[in-house]
Every structure is written in C-alpha cells, then in structure tokens.
Amino acid sequence: MLSAIDHVGVAVPDIDAALALYRDTLGMELVHRETVNDQGVDAALLDVGDAHIELLAPLAPDTVVGKFLNNRGPGLHHVAYRVDSVQEALDACVAAGLRLIDERPRTGIRGSQVAFLHPASTGGVLTEIVQPAEED
C-alpha cells in the first residue's frame, strides 16, 4: 500500500528562520512554498534525495500546528507516505482497524490528495498518506 516516504513534516515557529537552516545551511533545494489556509499553515517543501522535508509554520496559535508548537515545541510533526490512491489506502486502513483522522481525502500542498491516520493507531507517530497530484 505505501510506496515510499513522501516527506517528513517539521513544525516550526518561523518558516523563514527554518529556511535559513534547511536551505541555506544544510543545502536543501526549496522546491515549493504555499500557504494552505484550510490547514492553517505556511508550508515549504525542500528536496532531500527522492523525498522532501515539509516545513510547517502556523498561521495562528489556534491552528493544529500552532497548538502542536505550544504543547511540544518545534520538531517532527508527521511522516508522510506516498500511495497510488488515498481512498484505497484509507479503505485498507479501516479494514485493518486503524483509527483515522480523515475519513476521506482532502487537498494538500501542490494539489495532492492527503489524509491523516491517528497516532494512537500508528505507534505514536502522526501518519499522513499522500497521493501526489497528476503532473501535466
């Protein structure tokens, strides 16, 4: 079902400061930056090998990432796995008895389809499944 690690999400309080570290100091290429209002984040994707680091800065303190930062501080937020079909992956997760956060796919960064699995069902790790958007 899971074909590859798509990205590792990192919660940061200041995306520009984080870009100074990941892009300027560590040399990762910034490939996309987008404000995702539905999720309340400013997001940036940086290439690392065949996967990405996704930096997530909250648009407000009452967003999911804002609350995460308030409770846990900056750091690893989630691990995302690439799939061919988010809906098929969700159906398989339900059949396996996993607890879902999203019962159906929603739109993520760069027009991808995404859904999250509850960390209580995935060993304490917030898990995202990602179906990349079709490229033109």
Say which amino acid occupies 125: V
Q: What is the pLDDT of residues 15-72, one digit of tens each?
A: 999 999 999 999 999 999 999 998 899 999 999 999 999 999 999 999 999 999 999 9
- Site of tokens 């929603």: 106
As a whole number of angstroms, the distance between CA 76 and CA 118 comes to: 15
What is the pLDDT confidence band of residue 134, given thresholds at 50, 70 and 90?
confident
Residue pLDDT, tens place only, 67-125: 999 999 999 999 999 999 999 999 999 999 999 999 999 998 999 999 999 999 999 99
Token pair, residue 57, equals 């800065």
Query: Which letter does DSSP use for residue 100 in this model?
Result: B
| Residue corresponding to tokens 């061919």 | 84
Please state, in angstroms and rounded to a whole number, the distance separating the CA atoms of residues 129 and 89: 8
Helices (H), 1-136: 15-19, 64-72, 86-95
pLDDT at 136: 43
| Local confidence band at 135 (pLDDT 50, 70, 90 cut-offs) | low
Residue 1's pLDDT is 85
Of 32, 39, 116, nearest to 78 by C-alpha is: 116
Q: Which residues pair with 35 in a beta bridge?
A: 42
